[in-house]
Amino acid sequence: MSKPTLSDSSNGVKTTFTIEEIQKLLPHRYPFLLVDRIIEYQESERAVGIKNVTMNEEFFQGHFPGRPLMPGVLIVEAMAQVGGIVLAQLPDVPDGKLFVFTGIDKVRIRRSVVPGDQLLITAELLAFKRKRFATMATRAEVEGQLACSGELMFAMVD
């Protein structure tokens, strides 16, 4: 599979992504694709994505009946997927390689996320070591309030 070439700006670097374009970059699919749109992208640096949280999400059936809360682990996964948008497009990454989520550090959940919320997720590349390991600073906000933040680690695999 060759690396997608997406562009929408004069310098050839795409700065926003629709759900269809996200699916060209990430292997995730329903019900595990947790990013609806990328609204800002800076090559090899950062991405800002949106996750619209709706009552139709399957996890709300059991988490929790009568008091729906988005599981914290899924908020973290959504942050990792936004980070994956940055990593999938690094110029030094060979075609056919994939970054997998390998670690979590300093993650804190600060507020509940409920149906009707819109998560604004920022992932910023902190380090890319030995052209194989990456660390991202991530944060998820709802209406300007921090919902979750932390550092996520990734490793490149075949």
Residues designated catalytic: 63
Q: What angle do CA 140, 41, 100 make, to 5 degrees?
A: 65
For 33, phi and psi rounded to 5 degrees? Answer: -80, 115
Q: If DSSP codes are grouped into helix, strand and coil, which group holds residue 58?
A: helix
35 CB-contact burial (10 Å; exposed 0-12 / middle 13-18 / buried 19+)? buried
Structure tokens at 73: 């682990």
For 102, phi and psi rounded to 5 degrees? Answer: -120, -10
